[in-house]
Amino acid sequence: MQKWKLTTEFTFDSAHYIKDYDGPCGRLHGHTYKVRVEATSNQLHTSEYCPHPVMVADFRSLRWAKRDMEKGGLDHGVLNDILPPKYETTAEMIAQFIYDETKKRVPEGVRLKVMVSETPNSWVEYEDEP
């Protein structure tokens, strides 16, 4: 069976604190978050910007989080104020939030994996179950 996989990376800068954390991460601080999104599909799709079925998912749909927070993204905002209450601002929950929001923007049947790093040597992954 045919399968396409695309990967895109982007960064955004935001501040956060981890609620009730006993240590420095409990205080407001910032990161340059690095995000990698992988999308796989057994078929190609159209997009909001292209009427032809020629892509797994539109890169614009996958990179929504890099937009300024005033334009619906996460850049240059305080994540504690942006993320809905069910998401804490740990890297794990940020990855899940980006996954959940990205899933709404891609065609049905596209599988996603979202990786988030808030420091150069630490990553978290969140993905679909097979």
76 catalytic per annotation = yes
118 catalytic residue (yes or no) = yes
Choice among 9, 16, 25, 127 that is catalytic: 25
Helix (H) or strand (E) holding 96: helix 91-103
Does residue 50 carry a catalytic annotation?
no
Listed in sequence order, the residues at least 6 apart from 15 whose beta carbon sits closer than 8 Å to its beta carbon are 28, 29, 30, 31, 77, 78, 79
Q: Which of 50, 101, 118, 127 is catalytic?
A: 118
Handedness of CA 70, 74, 75, 81 (dihedral sign): positive
Which of 57, 61, 81 lies closest to 69, judged by CA? Answer: 81
Given 29, 52, 76, 101, which residue is catalytic?
76
Q: In the block, which residue shows the tokens 């609620």?
A: 19
Provide the 10 A C-beta neighbour count for residue 124.
16
Question: Known catalytic residues?
Answer: 25, 76, 118
